[in-house]
Amino acid sequence: MINMKRNVTRKIIGGLSLTSAMFVFQACYGTPQDFGLDILIEGQVKSKTSGLPIKGIKVSVADNVQYEVTDEEGKFSFYTEILEGLTLHFQDIDSTQNGLYIDKDTVLTDLKENIYLDIALEEK
């Protein structure tokens, strides 16, 4: 309660100085502050047939430069900008190494919180 009161007083005094940037600052030799929103997308890619994790699958965001490649456990994890809808491409990029799988797209909508995906790819 006391903290809330202090915050309100702080905002009133700050507001009276009529400079909107009062609470937004950056150090002289520092960066701007980050007010952007992003979400963490994580998951694991497995073989639909064997249920085993697949290494070397490229997980990319449509219309965006971002991508990651699954690790030994078929896992991936990255932050990306929050959009209304987002398409993830799962693509086998290492030819026969680690098996041959059919590419898959997953459409994500109503993104608000971090997401965990279990993805199963069919063998070619």
Binder among 1, 5, 17, 109 for other proteins (CB under 8 A): 17
Nearest by Cα to 41 from 115, 120, 112: 115
Nearest to 57 by CA among 87, 88, 86, 94: 94
Q: DSSP assignment, residue 23?
A: G
User: Under the criterion CB under 8 A, does residue 103 sit at the interface with other proteins?
Assistant: no
Q: Tell whether residue 1 is a contact of other proteins (CB under 8 A).
A: no
Instruction: Kindly tell me which residue out of 1, 2, 4, 21 binds other proteins, with binding defined by CB under 8 A.
Output: 21
Q: Which of 1, 2, 5, 35 is close enough to bind other proteins by CB under 8 A?
A: 35
By CB under 8 A, name the binding residues for other proteins: 6, 9-10, 13-14, 16-22, 24-36, 38, 40, 65-68, 77-81
